[in-house]
Every structure is written in structure tokens, then in C-alpha cells.
């Protein structure tokens, strides 16, 4: 319930006093509330199911908001800049999503008012809080019980050990793909989709990230450590996959995108030489590292997942643009005023740019849904972008951020294969700077051998992307907060560069 913190709550308190409910005129029986609560900050997003018992006053009219404030103060060390609460919903906040919190509290009406008005000092009063039960990570387990560790994890479960301590977390990713299925959906999810063209299909998958996960890492088995199969306690693992109808897919995304603060939708489009599993793991890792609280959608086009099939991937990228347009249109209309954020990598920028260009040519009003687009290391002809694509998509309400690098060996090879024509993701003297495009030179960061996956592997770039995706800050406002510095080039104009100290560069 939305209320005015400084007048609505006071009126409610006075009403309770008049009725003899507050002000100590009558005793109030304890009331139990089953809530979903979320606390959001740049570096952390906490989501939990809160079992709240309130004694002393009637808070039913604003229990969700009160519960979120209490969770932030009692369990999250006041890390959250914003808090949100709603009645419990299993899809948003149940065993499949969040840990459980238990709190019993005694409040007077004036203390409740102070809490809702932002005067959290009242919570520290020992008379205000009479009992706090412990935090349990056990999914859907009553107090003092934990999930049996030997059970196979259900989709989305928070998995704990025998002592109730976290083993790994599971990210729920919605997908749309025009890959051809090769296996039944009951088979291991890694074997479901091929690199061949197929009909557009929709579903949801679950990817686990180990407790030891580090930002920018896709933890995988290592032969050097004699690891021959993926272990969810150590590695990022595709756990399960379920096919959904279009309507069910849209409904589930809409619920996650519009509740608990309406965080929106994050769309990820992978690049060349990527299997469906590779794309799923990266989508989950990226959403987790960005601390994105809304619905994450993977669009997986039929890359052949082989280095030698670059030309084939170029053809399927062009072919997939039509389906990309359909998916973008569906997401843009999933719920009114729902912000959509896009991260496209490498050749996936061709899929996105062509699909997006076609969409807004047909339905220009839909562009307003797309708040931020990140073009990471785009394998797109720079001149074609300038002449054909940019005029159709830039300066129309959506902010575009380009990450480019002079150390991207993969794009140098692509340029060579294309007769020396520069790629949009290359920097140096020919870096693309133009109106409506926030260009960031990421050459300073360390990354993989080819220098092509820095968008997902560099903690520095991920940190800057948080400001783009989570707070929609332009580079002028990120300069003082992150590691950007401005470059005023006489010939090109203003662009931005990531400055990274050697000791802080990170992988």
C-alpha cells in the first residue's frame, strides 16, 4: 500500500487513538504478516520472505512498508537506499527466490509513525523490539528446520547445507530463442538447443552460482584441478530448463518486473561462438553481478558455437534479427511504464540493432520502453553503423552506451576478415564518437586472452555498468562515482575513458 509518510501515517495514528486502539487505551493482539521485502542499493539487492509478528498496535494498513524498513534495519545493516514490501507471493519471494526472515516486534503507534517517517532511531530502542528470531536460509522451511542437503535442488531454490548455511544461489532467467531443439526438455538442459535455426520458443531456466562466486568470474571445472564435471558448490551451473507458452512467459516476466519497486527487465543478447548453455551462464552471472532485481531475459540466437563458423554465425545473426524484433516488441508491451535495459555483446549487437531498428520503424512509440542500451564490444561495421543504424535509433529517447577497446584481438581479426573495415567496438584513433552515443574506451582494463569479454569479466566495467543499468546515470554523473575520465578530442569531440590503477584493474 502506498502512503504519504508524513501525513497519511499520522492521520492513521490519530484515527487509531480516537478509536481507543493506539495511545495505550486498549491492548492489541499480536498480528502475523507474511511479506515479501526488498532492499535495494547499488552494491546490494536483498530480497527475503519476512514472517513479521507485531504486538501493541494495529499496523495492517502499512505492514508491507513497515516490514521492509524493519528488515533493512534489523537484518541488512541499513545497506538499502530504497525498500519495498508486498504481501507474500511465491513467485516473487518464496522458496524459489529468497531466504526467510523471522521477526517479532512490539510497537506503539508513535514508534510505528517514526519508523515510516524515516526516523529509524526508534527501532534501536530496546522497548520497541522485544524479540528477534534468527535468519534461516532454508527454502519454505518453518523455524528451526532446514532443507535436507541430499535433496536435488528444485528450480530456483536457495540451497543450504545441513547447518542451514548457504551453499549456492540460483538465478532464474527467462529466455527466448530461435535455436532448433535437439533434445527433450526432460533431458539435461545443456543438451536441449542446437546451433541451427528453428522456430521461436520461450521458457525459463535456472543457473546456480556458488557461494564463492566472484564478480566477473564464470567459475568452471578446471582440468588442472582434476575437475571433470561441474559442481554447483564450486562452479556456475545450468541446473534446469522449462518450456513456457508465450502468455505464461509474459505473465511471469511482468510480475517480476513490476513488483517490489518495479525494477524492470534486463535483456541480454550474446555474441559469436556461443552455445545456448554459454549464453545462459553469462546472462545469470551478469544479472547477479549487476545486482539487478527485476526479470532477466536472454535472447539466444543460433550461433554455431565453433570458432571456424564465423561466417555462418554472421548469416544466422542477420536471420535472427526478425525474431529479435518480435521479442523486443513483446517485452516493450509487457506492462505499462516498465523500463527495459539491454546489454548486447559482440555480434549480438547486429542482432539487436537490426531488430530494434525494424521495431521502431514499425512502432516508434515502443522505443520509450527502452531506457538504456549497452553495446559491449560490438562486432558491427563502424561505417554502416554511422550511416544506416545510428540515424534510426540514436537521439530518440533511449540512452546508448558504447564500450570499445583497442586491445580487443577478436575485433581486430574480424576487421581483417572484412577487408580492414573497422568494427564499432574498436577504439584508438578511429573510435566512434557521435551525438546520442556515450562512448567509453575500456582499453585500460584487463580481461580474457582475446580482450573481448571485458563487459562480463572486468570488475571495473561491471562497476561502471551498474550506474548505467541500475541508476541510468550519464557519464557526466558517473565521472565522480566510478573510474571514468573525460577525453576532449579536437577532431572527434567528447568521449570517456576508463582509468584503472594497475593494482585495482581486476580480471
Q: Which of 124, 148, 181 is the last residue of a domain?
A: 124
Residues 433/382, Cβ–Cβ less than 8 Å: no
Domain that holds residue 247: 167-504
Domain match, 176 and 90 both: no
CATH of the domain at 207: 3.40.50.1820
Find the length of the chain.
Answer: 507
Name which residue leads in pLDDT, 448 or 428: 428
| Gyration radius of the chain over CA positions | 25
Looking up cell 525474431 gives 323
What number is the average pLDDT over the span 18-40? 69
Q: Taking the CA of residue 448 as centre, how many other CA atoms within 13 Å lie in the half-sphere pointing to its CB?
A: 13
From 124, 142, 158, the end of a domain falls on 124
Same-domain pairing of 171 and 118: no
Among 96, 124, 152, where does a domain finish? 124
Averaged pLDDT of the chain: 84
Residue 94 shares a structural domain with residue 214 = no
Residues 188 and 279 in one domain: yes
Q: Kindly state whether residues 259 and 326 are assigned to the same domain.
A: yes
Give one word for 345, left, alpha or beta, with left for phi > 0 and alpha for psi -120 to 50: beta
CA–CA gap between residue 179 and residue 275 (Å, rounded): 10
Both 98 and 189 in a single domain? Answer: no
- Assess if residue 185 is contained within a domain: yes
- Does some domain include residue 134? no
Q: Give me the number of domains the chain comprises.
A: 2
- Res 152 pLDDT > 70: no
Q: Give burial (CB, 10 Å; 0-12/13-18/19+) of 226.
A: exposed
Task: Cell 571485458: give the residue.
Answer: 454
Residue 240 lies in a domain: yes
Which segment of 136-140, 194-198, 223-227, 318-322 scores lowest on mean pLDDT?
A: 136-140
Residue 71 lies in a domain: yes
Residues 175 and 83 grouped into a single domain: no
How many of the other CB atoms lie within 10 Å of CB of 349? 29
Q: Helix 63-74 vs helix 109-116: angle between axes, to the nearest 10 degrees?
A: 80
Confidence (pLDDT) at 13: 38
Same domain, 338 and 448: yes
Q: Is residue 387 scored above 90 in pLDDT?
A: yes
Under a CB-based contact definition with an 8 Å cutoff, are residues 426 and 404 in contact? yes
What whole-number percentage of the chain has pLDDT above 70?
A: 82
Residue carrying C-alpha cell 562480463: 456
Q: How far apart are CA 112 and CA 128, in angstroms?
A: 9
Q: How far is CA 146 from the centre of its chain?
A: 28
Are 257 and 360 found together in one domain?
yes
Instruction: Spell 249-259 as b/e; 16+ CB within 10 A means b.
Output: bbebbbbbbbb
Amino acid at each position: 500500500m502506498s502512503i504519504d509518510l508524513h501525513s497519511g501515517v499520522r492521520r492513521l495514528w490519530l484515527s487509531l487513538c480516537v478509536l481507543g486502539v493506539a495511545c495505550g487505551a486498549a491492548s492489541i493482539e499480536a498480528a502475523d504478516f507474511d511479506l515479501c521485502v526488498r532492499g535495494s542499493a547499488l552494491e546490494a539487492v536483498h530480497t527475503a520472505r519476512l514472517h513479521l509478528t507485531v504486538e501493541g498496535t494495529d499496523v495492517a494498513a502499512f505492514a508491507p512498508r513497515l516490514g521492509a524498513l524493519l528488515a533493512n534495519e534489523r537484518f541488512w545493516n541499513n545497506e538499502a537506499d530504497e525498500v519495498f514490501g508486498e504481501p507474500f507471493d511465491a513467485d516473487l519471494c518464496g522458496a524459489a527466490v529468497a531466504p526467510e526472515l523471522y521477526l517479532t516486534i512490539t510497537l506503539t503507534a508513535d514508534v510505528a509513525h517514526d519508523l515510516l517517517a524515516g526516523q529509524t532511531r526508534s527501532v534501536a530502542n530496546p522497548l520497541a523490539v522485544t524479540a528477534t528470531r534468527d535468519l534461516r536460509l532454508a527454502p519454505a522451511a518453518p523455524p528451526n528446520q532446514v532443507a535436507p542437503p541430499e535433496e536435488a535442488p528444485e528450480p530456483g531454490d536457495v540451497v543450504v547445507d545441513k547447518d542451514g548455511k548457504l551453499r549456492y544461489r540460483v538465478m532464474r532467467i527467462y529466455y527466448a530463442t530461435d535455436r532448433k531443439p535437439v533434445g527433450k526438455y526432460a533431458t539435461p538442459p545443456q543438451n536441449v538447443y542446437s546451433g541451427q535455426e528453428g522456430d521461436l520458443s520461450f521458457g525459463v531456466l535456472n543457473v546456480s552460482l556458488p557461494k564463492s562466486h566472484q564478480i566477473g568470474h564464470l567459475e568452471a571445472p578446471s582440468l588442472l584441478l582434476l575437475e571433470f564435471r561441474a559442481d554447483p558448490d564450486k562452479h556456475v551451473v545450468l541446473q534446469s530448463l522449462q518450456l513456457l507458452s508465450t502468455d505464461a512467459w509474459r505473465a511471469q516476466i511482468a510480475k517480476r518486473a513490476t513488483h517490489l519497486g518495479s525494477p524492470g527487465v534486463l535483456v541480454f543478447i550474446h555474441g559469436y561462438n556461443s552455445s545456448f548453455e554459454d549464453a545462459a551462464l553469462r546472462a545469470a552471472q551478469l544479472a547477479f553481478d549487476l545486482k539487478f532485481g527485476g526479470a532477466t531475459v536472454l535472447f539466444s540466437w543460433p550461433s554455431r558455437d565453433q570458432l571456424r563458423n564465423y561466417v555462418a554465425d554472421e548469416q544466422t545473426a542477420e536471420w535472427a534479427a526478425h525474431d529479435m524484433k518480435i521479442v523486443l516488441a513483446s517485452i516493450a508491451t509487457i506492462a505499462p511504464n516498465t523500463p527495459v535495459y539491454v546489454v548486447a555483446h559482440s555480434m549480438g549487437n547486429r542482432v539487436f540493432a537490426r531488430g530494434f531498428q525494424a521495431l521502431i520503424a514499425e512502432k516508434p512509440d515502443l522505443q520509450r520502453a527502452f531506457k538504456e542500451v549497452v553495446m559491449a564490444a560490438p562486432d558491427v561495421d563502424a561505417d554502416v553503423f554511422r550511416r544506416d543504424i545510428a540515424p534510426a535509433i540514436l537521439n530518440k529517447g533511449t540512452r546508448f552506451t558504447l564500450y570499445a577497446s583497442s586491445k580487443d584481438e577478436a575485433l581486430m581479426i574480424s576487421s581483417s576478415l572484412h577487408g580492414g573495415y573497422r568494427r564499432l567496438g574498436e577504439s584508438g584513433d578511429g573510435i566512434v564518437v557521435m551525438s546520442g552515443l556515450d562512448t567509453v574506451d575500456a582499453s585500460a582494463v584487463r580481461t580474457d586472452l582475446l580482450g573481448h569479454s571485458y563487459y562480463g569479466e572486468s570488475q571495473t566495467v561491471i562497476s561502471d555498468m551498474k550506474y548505467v543499468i541500475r541508476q541510468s546515470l550519464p557519464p557526466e554523473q558517473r565521472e565522480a562515482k566510478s573510474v571514468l575520465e573525460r577525453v576532449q578530442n579536437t577532431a572527434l569531440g567528447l568521449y570517456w575513458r576508463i582509468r584503472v590503477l594497475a593494482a585495482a584493474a581486476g580480471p
